[in-house]
């Protein structure tokens, strides 16, 4: 694949997980043409159709992120491509009471939403920053969290908790990497019209104010390099943005305090 850099987007080669549907697919289609892409998902046919099925500047790797062997294989393949961007958009969730939901589904939720996200980020992030620095550009990390990350979510307890983890993890990384050539984002969409709700067990598209995934992707692309926590609809932005400012101040204070304590 050719190495391309584009004005307006710091990264030149980006891995997008969950690229076969929903927000992941919409993000891939917005990024296509701005950077070389590596797309991954578990649905072979849907992954092949992403980005209009185009192959110029687009490579596809089928992988199930709930499977540790697939995660390790994907990380090794992607490291060899020297990416400088990572979009963790893959996600799972199951609607229902925790004590009634099948344990396999809840374990898969944690495996994809938390373990795969952390594992891929740790495997790729050092090389991403190095590649960006070598190229004289900026690396990119987008982790798809949720507006649910800010509240307890009965009937969706493990999913909500997993997204709270993603939000906190990403905010902490943004503080730790503040002096590095990388743009870090926690994308926190509200209700979105995608296949996620159907797979989880409810009609997400019927919720008031639900946005198409393309609108969510547009909001994310516009915010790259400008915001760490990004909301996609006015209601959640109004309600939650003040909280993100306070969280960022606390994170920065903790980061500085730990650095000072280590020097003693």
Residues labelled as active-site residues = 159
Rounded-to-integer distance, Cα 7 and Cα 92, Å: 34
Q: Please return the burial class of 159, using the count of CB atoms within 10 Å of its CB with bins 0-12, 13-18 and 19+.
A: buried
Handedness of CA 222, 227, 229, 232 (dihedral sign): negative
Q: Please state the length of the chain.
A: 264
CB neighbour list of residue 60: distance below 8 Å, 6 or more residues apart: 19, 38, 39, 40, 47, 48, 50
- Rounded to a whole number of angstroms, the CA Rg of the chain reads 18
Is 229:188 a contact under the CB 8 Å cutoff?
yes
Spatial separation of the C-alpha atoms in residues 199 and 189, rounded to whole Å: 18
DSSP bridge pairs for 60:
39
Give the Å distances, CA to CA, from 174 to 4, 141, 225: 26, 9, 11
The tokens of 171 are what?
A: 């905010």
Closest listed residue to residue 95, CA positions, set 193, 206, 197, 200? 200
**Residue 180 parent element (H or E):** none
Task: State which H helix or E strand residue 233 sits in.
Answer: none
């Amino acid at each position: 694949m050719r190495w391309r850099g584009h004005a307006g987007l710091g990264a030149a080669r980006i891995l997008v997980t969950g690229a076969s549907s929903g927000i992941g697919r919409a993000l891939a289609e917005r990024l296509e043409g701005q950077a070389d892409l590596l797309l991954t998902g578990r649905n072979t046919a849907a992954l092949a159709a992403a980005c209009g099925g185009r192959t110029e500047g687009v490579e596809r790797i089928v992988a199930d992120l709930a499977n540790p062997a697939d995660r390790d294989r994907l990380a090794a393949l992607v490291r060899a491509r020297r990416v400088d961007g990572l979009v963790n958009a893959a996600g799972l969730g199951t609607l229902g009471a925790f004590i009634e939901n099948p344990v396999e589904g809840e374990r898969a939720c944690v495996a994809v939403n938390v373990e795969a996200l952390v594992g891929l980020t740790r495997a790729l992030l050092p090389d991403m920053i190095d590649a960006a620095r070598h190229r004289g550009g900026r690396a990119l990390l987008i982790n798809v969290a949720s507006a649910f990350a800010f509240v307890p979510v009965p009937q969706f307890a493990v999913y909500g908790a997993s997204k709270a983890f993603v939000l906190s993890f990403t905010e902490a990384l943004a503080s730790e990497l503040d002096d590095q050539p990388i743009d870090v984002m926690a994308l926190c969409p509200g209700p979105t019209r995608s296949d996620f709700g159907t797979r989880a067990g409810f009609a997400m598209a019927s919720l008031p104010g639900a946005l198409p995934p393309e609108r969510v992707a547009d909001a994310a692309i516009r915010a790259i390099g400008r915001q760490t926590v990004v909301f996609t609809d006015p209601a959640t932005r109004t309600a939650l943005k003040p909280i993100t400012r306070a969280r960022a101040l606390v994170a920065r204070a903790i980061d500085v305090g730990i650095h000072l304590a280590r020097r003693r």
